[in-house]
Amino acid sequence: MNNTIENIVSLCKRRGFVFQSSDIYGGFSAVYDYGPLGIELKNSIAKLWWKEMTQVHENIVGLDSGILMHPKIWEASGHIGAFHDPLVDCKQCKARFRADDLTEKPEGLNWQVIKCPKCGTTGNLTDPRQFNLMFKTHTGPVEESGTEAYLRPETAQGIYVNYQLVQVAMRLKVPFGIAQIGKAFRNEIIARNFIFRTREFEQMEMQYFVKPGTDDDLLKEWKEKRFQFYPNILGLNEAKIRYHQHGKNELAHYAKEAWDIEYKFPFGWSEIEGIHNRTDFDLSRHQEFSGKNLAYFDQPNNERFLPFIIETSAGLNRTLLAVLVDAYWEDKKNDRVVMRLNPRLAPVKAVICPLVKKGGLPEKAREIVDILKPHFKVLYDQQGSIGKRYYRQDEAGTPFGITVDHQTKEDNTVTLRHRDTQQQDRLSIDQLLPIIQKSI
């Protein structure tokens, strides 16, 4: 694993952002648990996405569909037949790779001329073999055929099969969108790079139902809107975000056109979100497999059609990893590590510290906690030297440190420390709430 990623993994464990699943049993590969700070950060990202993708659009509504669905859905969607990863094995060192990690165009290549990235030998790689990524399970008490079900590998299908119910219930007119945040599962054979590629993850997807013929323009519009979300709303460094258009060989089985939004991770440029023109592929397949007419009736023009779908599909965990990577800063001059999280995203907004544990200072500090805690998450800390307390919170990304000292008792003022600059201002207690609120 890359050095910076290793440091971030270790910080995430130390400070309670992310833990390896089943740690006391030696870990469970490619699954992660989110600790107290991680869940706050993940919720903040999801909340901002939800606001951006539902609240500010009058024609986009939300949905929360089940993880388990009728198994026929996955036949119709093409996932049972075509949701594969091409994998290559090295006969020499037994390492296994995703073929598309080794070359952009895995199909039709002579694998005998490619070097194994692990042991460096040539001529030992097998031709790619296809592995289906769907997790299978059973419903009911008996494991037999006919009771098989799948954990969804994308949240999108739950939206497609509910699209007509939502449209009628909410009296929506094309173009309209349905947004959903939820878990998805893929039996990734090669899982690596921390929370970048895991077997259980969360997607934030929006499916936009449009009139055929308007799809190309609307894809362009959504592609631009979604790009802006990362610097403008999450505050990521724009120089580290770019588009990547899928070539013919990369297109998923449902897509006519596809773009990735990529972030420059320490292990290279990699996808955080996909924007796809899925045409009427999904709705026409569900229409065929369910036998139900899924056409939309356009009343003013008195016509019926199957809408095309423009999909924006972001990974919540990958976005969180991009946020962590973007924030990570080794402040060599001051010998500290700082998570320069956007105050809006920071799990804890302020730490409140009495300078010493006596003389009425803890009580005064508790009063400040009581003033601030109805508005945002704060933390009381009286453990250790003040410097150590601040450095702990720098690693947690807490933007403000408030210190209560002897002067506080005399004039009701405190010091407010800013995480990134370490600058400290003296101000009165009643100024704290408006200042912090403004920054978040």
User: At closest approach, how far in Å is the CB of 234 from ligand GAP?
Assistant: 14
Binding to ligand GAP by residue 215, rule CB under 6 A?
A: no
Rule CB under 6 A: choose which of 8, 9, 210, 272 binds ligand GAP. Answer: 272
User: At closest approach, how far in Å is the CB of 185 from ligand GAP?
Assistant: 9
Residue 290 and residue 72 in contact, taking contact as beta carbons nearer than 8 Å: yes
User: At closest approach, how far in Å is the CB of 276 from ligand GAP?
Assistant: 6
Binding to ligand GAP by residue 279, rule CB under 6 A?
A: no
Q: Which is nearer to ligand GAP, 322 or 378 (CB)?
A: 322
Binding to ligand GAP by residue 77, rule CB under 6 A?
A: no
Rule CB under 6 A: choose which of 38, 274, 343, 354 binds ligand GAP. Answer: 274
Rule CB under 6 A: choose which of 313, 382, 398, 403 binds ligand GAP. Answer: 313
Rule CB under 6 A: choose which of 77, 193, 317, 382 binds ligand GAP. Answer: 317
Which residue is closest to ligand GAP by CB? 315
What string marks each residue from 167 to 206 as x (binds ligand GAP by CB under 6 A) or -?
-------------------x-x--------xx--x-x-x-
Q: Which of residues 226-245 bind ligand GAP (CB under 6 A)?
A: none
Give the binding range for ligand GAP (CB under 6 A) out of 49-57, 313-321, 351-359, 379-387.
Answer: 313-321
Give the binding range for ligand GAP (CB under 6 A) out of 163-171, 217-225, 234-242, 268-276.
Answer: 268-276
